[in-house]
Structure 1
Amino acid sequence: MKTGVLMIHGFTGGPFEVQPFADYIEEKTDWLVKIPTLPGHGESLDLKNKSAESWMMAAELALKELKKQVDRVIIVGFSMGGLIAMYLAMRYKIEKLVLLSAAVKYISAGQMLEEVRNAATDAVKRRLAQNPLFHLYEYKLLNTPISSAIEFLRVVKMVEPYYDKLTLPVYIVQGKKDSIVPVTAADHIYNQLGSIEKEIYHSDNGPHLICYSDDCDDWFTHVLAFMADGDE
């Protein structure tokens, strides 16, 4: 039985966000892993006039293509990709679902303030150019139209009423140092899901880019075991 994994990146992101986990899966299995780039995303952002529907449709087309090549499909969704993954799992037969830093609640105010404060401290010390977080947000702020952020929120609202309709096995990974998605988001999804088989992993030092966390090798192992269970 051939297994396929569809991995969906986040808002204003690209395949790089989930690439470390994709590499790990390919190293440990013979599964077919696909990471589509959503419209307007990738190495350079072009989000103007890109809609929530266009992102969902791109992921849906990638899923349909993958389904032609394999017997069972697992979807891994990061951040906004987690919401799109849930949307697809409502509409298609999916074996399992993995949600990484799923953006059901957006922006952790406390963590964001802490990181802005750190950036301000760096500015005082004239080290702002060396602060990677500053450059990431600077680039995203300059290249993310307000209309695109509204489309992201539409994705959130489209999926929100249907969490309890999902009954497939789900594994959730959430970093406690996530500056974008509050830690409570993962618990919220976990409690709302209709799934009987569901697990949650809290990464103590995990940032929003959870696939780059210090403990990623640890949770990679746990999640892959969950994904492989039942794979004949």
Structure 2
Amino acid sequence: MSVLPGAEPYSHDGSDTGVLLVHGFTGTPQSMRPWGEHLVERGYTVRVPRLPGHGTTWQEMNRTRWDDWYAVVDAAFRELHERCARVFVGGLSMGGALALALAQEHGPRVSGLVLVNPAVKFEDWRVRLVPVLKYVMPSAAAIASDIKKPGVVELAYDRSPVHAAHSQFTAWKNVIRDLPEVTQPVLLLHSPEDHVVPASSSELVLARISSEDSTEILLHDSYHVATLDNDAPRIFEESVQFIERLS
């Protein structure tokens, strides 16, 4: 199946410090590309994979699951780890949950995490109906392009695949259970006004991880897709400072 223009993965070989960036649910590498390019300008080796089922059609995404997405992220991390002396992982929304799962599995091989509006929970009561709804309603309203900055659009689906969403919600249980296993340094940036993921998701992550080195930054001028929003330059520069401090 053809990939939407702009949804292609992004890769660059630079220094022996690697950075893996992971996009969110129904999104594409387009939402992470400016961040990746900023890191490339600073000399880092960067990988921004396209998760299976993303950047094509929501119908195809409905045939993929969390394990498929994690397998691609895990493979990208292992390739970077073979190539680089240290590897940092950044994630937006569901990409943040995948980054946490990597940290839980790989331990100190992950040098640090940069999480932007990480998604590990929703407060919408309708989520409880998804295990049943997925059999009668293949897709739901889109969650894409929650961006405050005028004229900026996220390349993502206009519908949310419900089978795929159920897989994500199920995986969150394990991610939340294992949050105490996250001991790596964490930089967490989140938007107080986020129309997709509640602030309680970031609060849960910060409350449950075991990291002695954790920093929280509020993004007051952005909505959910903050990597494309008004606070994007701050995310990019804060991540560079975080990486430089730990490298």
Aligned to 1:7: 21
More helix by share: 1
Q: C-alpha distance in 1, partners of 2:155/2:245? A: 37
Alignment-derived partner of residue 157 in structure 1: 173
Whether the 8 Å CA contact 2:61–2:161 is kept in 1: the answer is yes
Q: What does residue 51 of structure 2 align with?
A: 38
For the residues of structure 2 that align with 1:197 and 1:180, how far apart are their CA atoms?
27
Answer with 1 or 2: which has the greater Rg: 1
Corresponding residue of 2:184: 168
SS at match of 1:172: strand
Q: Deviations over 1:16-57 (max 9, x none)?
A: 111121111112x21100011111002544213211111111
SS at match of 1:84: helix
1:136-215 → structure 2 map (5 Å cutoff): 139-141=157-159, 144-215=160-231
Cα displacement string for residues 86-128 of structure 1 (whole angstroms, at most 9, x for unaligned residues): 111111111001111100123679xxxxxx9xxxxxxxxxxxx
Question: How far is the alpha carbon of 1:73 from its aligned partner?
Answer: 0.3
Residue 71 (structure 2) pairs with residue 57 (structure 1): yes
Aligned CA RMSD, in angstroms, stands at 2.5
Q: Quick check: 2:28–2:155 contact (8 Å CA) kept in 1? A: no
Number of aligned residues:
207
Unaligned runs of at least 5 residues, structure 1: 110-115, 117-130
Secondary structure of the 1:97 match is: strand
Superposed, 1:106-121 pairs within 5 Å as 106=122
SS at match of 1:34: strand
Question: What TM-score does the superposition give when structure 2 sets the normalisation length?
Answer: 0.77
User: Could you tell me how far apart the structure 1 residues matched to 2:214 and 2:124 are?
Assistant: 24
Structure 2 counterpart of 1:17: 31
Whether the 8 Å CA contact 1:83–1:155 is kept in 2: the answer is no
What TM-score, normalized to structure 1? 0.81
Take 1:209 and 1:16, find their aligned partners in 2: how far apart are those partners? Answer: 11
5+ residue gaps in structure 2?
Answer: 1-14, 126-140, 142-150
Q: 1:171 to 1:132 in 2, by over 3 A?
A: closer
* Residues 1:68 and 2:82 are matched in the alignment: yes
Q: Which moved more, 1:217-226 or 1:166-175?
A: 217-226
Compared with structure 1, are the counterparts of its residues 136 and 107 closer, same or farther at alpha carbon in structure 2 (3 Å cutoff)? farther
Q: Is the 8 A contact 1:107 1:179 kept in 2?
A: no
Separation in 2, partners of 1:36, 1:165: 25
SS of equivalent residue, structure 2 residue 113: strand
One-letter amino acid matched to 2:46: V
Same amino acid, percent of matched pairs: 27
Do 2:227 and 2:235's aligned partners in 1 also have CA atoms closer than 8 Å?
no
Deviations 1:135-177 (A, max 9, x none): 989x432xx3321110111221221101111111000010122
Whole-Å separation in 1 of the counterparts to 2:83 and 2:46? 11
Runs of 4 or more above 4 Å deviation: none
